[in-house]
Amino acid sequence: MSPMKKQLVGIELRRDGISAVELRKSGDSYVLENTAQVDLTDGRDLSGALKDLFGERGFSRRAFVSLAPPDSRVFLNRISTTLPRLGQVRSVLKSQIEDSVPIAFEDIVADTGDVWQDADESGERTLLAAAINRSVLLSITEAFDDAGAPLDRIIPAPSALDAIARCAKTDLEGKDILLLHCDEERSYMAFYSNGCQVLVRAMGPIGPGQDDNAPSETFLREIGLSWRRLFGSTIPSDTAVVVSAPGESRGSEFFRRLPGTVSFVPPQSLIENWEKVEDKYWIPAALAVQGAQRERPNFLKVLKEETRAASKPVAHIAVACVLLAVLLALGIGRLYTTRHRLRRQEAQIEQSIEREFRAVFPELDHVRDTEVMVVTLRRELDDLQQRHDGLQAAVGRQHNPVALLNVFNRAIPEGHHIELDSIRIGADAMRVEGSAGDVGEAEELRDALSALEIFDDVAINHSGRSGAGAGFDLNISFR
């Protein structure tokens, strides 16, 4: 639910301090009332910076406060799901992203946006999940508590980019668009599918003097690769590309090379008195605007929900008991079904054994015990194997001449002109005399025969016999 407060504060945590903007909601627009940057220097921690912000800098303690942690502390992951409701997605979100974030499972605090796109033809939806380490989150809330400062929302900075699109009066609903934000600190590219933010890339700054450098080229290449990864195609020329960037850089070559239909966001279109404000305050301003219009994502709300849930063990025990009862019922049912199936299979196996036994030993019709049948069949099989081994030793290893000729014929490479003059087959070797179109064809035939497992060794002699082809003798031993 949107806050009813008219005073809205957006705070962005940076490595060396905080940047903050205070707005006052006035009808459908916002009035800029205060900006401040407080450095974390001379031993000052976050709590001290907040005391300065809501003390000497005059920020309202009755405002609705939205805060973005440093980009390095937040992990964004694109996920696909077939679950029909957003609440169901959130209930399993940690399990879906635990392998994609460098945070222990029990320390993950995760959320998604509250925009719920339509499913595609396969029933899938693509969403952007955000995660943060619980210890980082607690250090922020403890600093606010110590400073006595208000805090209502903790969100990733890129999630506030929706407010930038609304500043440009861009209709996101059901649209695939690209939104870019560039300032002195970094650059964002945010991809929207069906009006839902599904992929974000954070990169280094892209300034007016960087048109031909590697970061600019990398940024442009990443735009194309990410769009293709999401949609399987290049960016259509009519795709809306909304850009938030300092005014002095908008005419640079870099922005002229962007794909799609590019439009720039003038901050003053939504915020009065913005003309002379530095671009480093644009993300804090977007956080303040987003706080008035969106409920999620909100790491702070997830943390409070988990705390409330942990304080109600009785309810959890009751739910656990119900789930245990359901699992037991399912387990017993599955056990019964499995037992019934195994008994049926056992009966079929015994019938098969009896049929084979009666066919082999019709004279033993008095035997009824299945185990006795199996032992008798095994004994008979052992006797047969011994008789076979004896015959094999007496006769020696022999090969079927017809089978050998068939193997030889199939080994002749297609298109080769091979003529055979004579074939002699012995007990463990064969000799073939013939001719090929040329010496190379004869060698290829030898290689093809050598590759067959049935032949142990294939030797070739080029006889040099006269005629149209190249004569050869093949001496082949069997395995």
Token couple for 236: 């259509």
The more confidently predicted of residues 382 and 322 is 382
- Mutual angle of helices 313-360 and 370-395, in 10-degree steps: 60
- pLDDT for 38-55, tens place per residue? 998 777 899 999 999 999
Higher per-residue pLDDT: 200 or 340: 200
Residue with tokens 């605090």: 109
Alpha carbons 428 and 456: distance in angstroms, whole number: 10
10-24, 153-167, 323-337: range with lowest mean pLDDT: 323-337
Q: How far is CA 13 from the centre of its chain?
A: 29
Q: What is the pLDDT of residue 1?
A: 42
pTM for the predicted model, two decimal places? 0.63
Whole-number Å distance between alpha carbons of 479 and 474 = 16
Q: Is the pLDDT of residue 396 over 50?
A: no
pLDDT band at 395 (very low <50, low <70, confident <90, very high): very low
pLDDT in tens, 398-417: 567 777 888 888 888 888 88
- Residue 198 per-residue DSSP state: E
Measured distance CA(104)–CA(88) in Å, rounded: 22
pLDDT digits (tens, 9 = 90+) for 107-148: 999 999 877 878 887 888 888 999 999 999 999 999 999 999
pLDDT of residue 188: 93
- d(CA 65, CA 152) in angstroms, rounded, equals 5
- pLDDT (tens digit per residue) in 218-267: 889 999 999 999 999 999 999 999 998 887 777 788 888 899 999 888 76
Q: Residue 455 burial (CB < 10 Å; 0-12/13-18/19+)?
A: buried
pLDDT reported for residue 179: 92
Q: For residue 241, what is the enclosing H or E element?
A: strand 240-244
